[in-house]
Structure 1
Amino acid sequence: MCSQYWAPLRINRIHSEVPPMFPDRLTLPEAAEYIGVSGKTLYMWYESERGPNAFKIAARLWYLRSDIDEWANAEMAATAHGGVQ
């Protein structure tokens, strides 16, 4: 299958390269459960470009587990305070 048929559309931040087989891909409900929020909340984040990277294939929204982990780590780092000095 030619790569032009599976190329992701512009969503949030574009993936520079998405492999043809997505071993760690999650649907919106699966990603929401993985993060611990509702599907509605995750979709609102997607619409406002606040959540983890996402992409569409054939009108379905997909998330990569690695992108969710990267986003969560960045969120934790940005909001952390206190600790030992």
Structure 2
Amino acid sequence: MEVAGHRISTAELENAISLHPNVIECAVVPMPHGIKGQVPVAFVILRGVQPSEQLEKEIIAQADKYIGLIARPAKVYFVEDLPKTRSG
């Protein structure tokens, strides 16, 4: 995806977010943005904890720490599962 002229790897961002101890799995997709072109949005499956604003902030901080502010997710959605293809 391209955020404000910077190429961002969704896989790299997914890996950074997955390092959080309460994250089982995540998927990052681009969302159109009027100024930046695209911004990352994360869909996250949690490990035995309830979603909260604090947890969303921690996950965003995780991305900031490992990749930088340019890759900061615009939004984190907590989901029960992620759609899969036949190959996973």
- In terms of fraction of residues, the more strand-rich structure is 2
- Category of TM-score, reference length = shorter chain: under 0.3
- The normalised TM-score by structure 2 is 0.27
- In terms of fraction of residues, the more helix-rich structure is 1
- The normalised TM-score by structure 1 is 0.28
Specify the structure having the higher radius of gyration (Cα).
Answer: 1
